[in-house]
């Protein structure tokens, strides 16, 4: 297994290009199943999760061709000949559940393995299933698989989500595009990835209103056609690299970044003493003089502070002047980076969903282990600011969500390399 070696110290200066969003691409790709005509995605990120979704769609009979070094994905679902999403692929990636709504809407039947829990939490899919039932789907759980049928086709209905779920909103939004009649989704997720999905579906001929708000209305149509769509900028990769100059000092411009993707996050950076300026190319981030200030953070659905930036923000706050309190409200087990940061000299107390971080002058390099995707990159950020060398193992987590991390960070002056097979 590969690891990443980071030698800390030194300011970062220059530009980092931000890729298309993993989490948008992972829902745009299953949208191809809604139409027999081709769907082409541009600005796709080059990540192992995208390869896994490619493998899943191909196992169902879709054609997926990767062009321009993976930045363009040309897909065609003309010949869907298998309606079973197998456990062996689904277990690798939870977003696999997003093929359920589209297959059911298009062909009236689908069998999809239950994804199971993961390191950051139990992550059930009950809300996906209840939402599809509200559209008339008949579901049975058997042998670890969801067996779904809609013999006469799906019918529009009202979906009242008891809590905000990004994935469940995406699944039912896609399904509703081909349902007969009108669907109203209440307490819908408002993430930019939902708006991007709705934009793409509209290009395919869907009738959708209200995306980006808590109530989405979908008027079902008989068929969807082909389209070409650019994947929205990855706001989590953006926020992650904004933290690099924040932690190390210097000034870095994040190409393609926009303030409206990271509003709540920027408010916290501002309170910590980090300046963020919108330029014609993206966002320029610089650390003002001196030590950063402690800030409190509560994770929430968009437009709140994203859970996917909590680990990276914790790495920043480890060297703040004072004590910060981080509350994780989305996932029940998302502080696994804390013990690893403590190995680097951080002072962190975790009690349930709350972590109290007391800033220290300087972190110290250490061997650490990545436990999940965002934890892995938080350890790299901490290593960039630490004295000495940090070796981050289990970097396959990192490959799920960050393309060319070594190239992007060394391009702004970081001392970072990938070590093969350790």
Ligand X SMILES: CC(=O)N[C@H]1[C@@H](OP(=O)(O)OP(=O)(O)OC[C@H]2O[C@@H](n3ccc(=O)[nH]c3=O)[C@H](O)[C@@H]2O)O[C@H](CO)[C@@H](O)[C@@H]1O
Ligand Y SMILES: C=C(OP(=O)(O)O)C(=O)O
364 phi/psi in degrees, rounded to 5: -120, 140
Stretch that binds ligand X, among 159-167, 222-230, 340-348, 382-390 (CB under 6 A): 159-167
Q: How far is the CB of 177 from ligand X (least distance, A)?
A: 19
Residue 127 lies near ligand X (rule: CB under 6 A): yes
Stretch that binds ligand X, among 30-38, 143-151, 158-166, 177-185 (CB under 6 A): 158-166
Neighbours of 164 (CB within 10 A): 19
Q: How far is the CB of 352 from ligand Y (least distance, A)?
A: 20
Residue 226, strand partner residues: none
Please return the burial class of 122, using the count of CB atoms within 10 Å of its CB with bins 0-12, 13-18 and 19+.
exposed
Stretch that binds ligand X, among 7-15, 123-131, 252-260, 348-356 (CB under 6 A): 123-131
Residue 124 lies near ligand X (rule: CB under 6 A): yes
Distance CA 171, CA 168 (A): 5
H or E stretch covering 396? helix 396-399
In the list ligand X, ligand Y, none, the entry touching 397 (Cβ below 5 to 8 angstroms by class) is none
Residue 126 lies near ligand X (rule: CB under 6 A): yes
State which of residues 102, 156, 167, 365 lies at the interface with ligand X (CB under 6 A): 167
Q: How far is the CB of 337 from ligand Y (least distance, A)?
A: 12
> Among candidates 31, 48, 46, 44, which has minimal Cα distance to 72?
44
In the window 194-213, what residues touch ligand X (CB under 6 A)? none
Distance CA 170, CA 192 (A): 12
Size of the site for ligand X (CB under 6 A): 20
Residue 43 lies near ligand X (rule: CB under 6 A): no
Question: Cα separations (Å) of 343 from 317, 318, 361, 385?
Answer: 15, 12, 15, 14
Identify whether the C-beta of residue 409 lies closer than 8 Å to the C-beta of residue 416.
Answer: yes
In the list ligand X, ligand Y, none, the entry touching 394 (Cβ below 5 to 8 angstroms by class) is none
Identified catalytic residue from 118, 248, 266, 318 = 118
Residue 124, annotated as binding a ligand: yes
> Among candidates 292, 249, 251, 253, which has minimal Cα distance to 270?
292
154 phi/psi in degrees, rounded to 5: -75, 150
Residue 364, strand partner residues: 387
118 is annotated as an active-site residue: yes
Distance CA 329, CA 384 (A): 28
In the list ligand X, ligand Y, none, the entry touching 147 (Cβ below 5 to 8 angstroms by class) is none
Residue 125, annotated as binding a ligand: yes
Six-digit token pair at 141? 């759980």
Residue 376 lies near ligand X (rule: CB under 6 A): no
Interface residues toward ligand Y, by CB under 6 A: 23, 94-95, 308, 373-374, 401
Six-digit token pair at 3? 């690891």
Residue 397 lies near ligand X (rule: CB under 6 A): no
Q: Cβ closer to ligand X: 22 or 83? A: 22
State which of residues 206, 231, 330, 336 lies at the interface with ligand X (CB under 6 A): 330
Residue 270, annotated as binding a ligand: no
Q: Cβ closer to ligand X: 1 or 163? A: 163
Identify whether the C-beta of residue 144 lies closer than 8 Å to the C-beta of residue 85.
Answer: no
Distance from chain centroid for Cα 18:
14
Q: Cβ closer to ligand X: 53 or 103? A: 53
HSE, CB side, 13 Å, CA atoms: give it for residue 4.
31
Residue 126, annotated as binding a ligand: yes
Residue 81, annotated as binding a ligand: no
Distance CA 365, CA 387 (A): 6
| Known binding residues for phosphoenolpyruvate | 22-23
| Known binding residues | 22-23, 94, 123-127, 308, 330
| Known binding residues for UDP-N-acetyl-alpha-D-glucosamine | 94, 123-127, 308, 330
Active site residues: 118
**Binding positions for ligand X, rule: CB under 6 A:** 23, 26, 94-95, 121, 123-128, 163, 165-168, 307-308, 330-331
């Amino acid at each position: 297994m590969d690891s990443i070696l980071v030698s800390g110290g030194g300011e970062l200066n220059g530009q980092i290009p931000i890729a298309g969003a993993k989490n948008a691409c992972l829902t745009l790709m299953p949208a191809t199943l809604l139409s027999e005509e081709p769907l082409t995605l541009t600005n796709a990120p080059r990540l192992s999760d995208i390869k896994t979704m490619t493998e899943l769609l191909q196992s169902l009979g879709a054609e997926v061709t990767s062009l321009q070094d993976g930045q363009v994905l040309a897909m065609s679902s003309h010949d869907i000949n298998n309606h079973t999403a197998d456990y062996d692929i689904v277990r690798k990636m939870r977003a696999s559940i997003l093929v359920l709504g589209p297959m059911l809407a298009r062909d009236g039947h689908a069998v999809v393995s239950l994804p199971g829990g993961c390191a950051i939490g139990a992550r059930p899919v009950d809300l996906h299933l209840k939402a599809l039932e509200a559209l008339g789907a008949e579901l049975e759980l058997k042998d670890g698989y969801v067996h779904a049928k809609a013999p006469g086709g799906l019918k529009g209905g009202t979906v009242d989500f008891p809590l905000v779920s990004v994935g469940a909103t995406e699944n039912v939004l896609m399904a509703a595009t081909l349902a007969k009649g009108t669907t109203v989704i209440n307490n819908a997720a408002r993430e930019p990835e939902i708006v991007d999905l709705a934009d793409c579906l509209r290009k395919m001929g869907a009738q959708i209103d209200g995306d980006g708000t808590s109530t989405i209305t979908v008027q079902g149509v008989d068929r969807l056609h082909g389209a070409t769509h650019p994947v929205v900028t990855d706001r989590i990769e953006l926020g992650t690299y904004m933290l690099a100059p924040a932690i190390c000092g210097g000034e870095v411009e994040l190409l393609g970044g926009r303030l409206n993707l990271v509003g709540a996050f920027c408010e916290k950076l501002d309170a910590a003493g980090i300046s963020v300026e919108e330029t014609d190319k993206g966002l320029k981030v610089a650390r003002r003089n001196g030590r950063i200030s402690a800030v409190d953070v509560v994770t929430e659905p968009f437009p709140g502070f994203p859970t996917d930036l909590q680990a990276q923000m914790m790495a920043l706050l480890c060297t703040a002047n004072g004590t910060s309190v981080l509350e994780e409200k989305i996932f029940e087990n998302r502080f696994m980076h804390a013990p690893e940061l403590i190995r680097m000299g951080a002072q962190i107390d975790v009690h349930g969903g709350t972590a109290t971080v007391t800033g220290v002058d300087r972190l110290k390099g250490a061997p650490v282990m990545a436990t999940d995707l965002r934890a892995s990159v938080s350890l790299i950020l901490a290593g960039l600011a630490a004295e000495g060398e940090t070796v981050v193992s289990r970097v396959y987590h990192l490959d799920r969500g960050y393309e060319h991390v070594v190239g992007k960070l060394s391009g702004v002056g970081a001392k970072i390399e990938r070590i093969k097979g350790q």
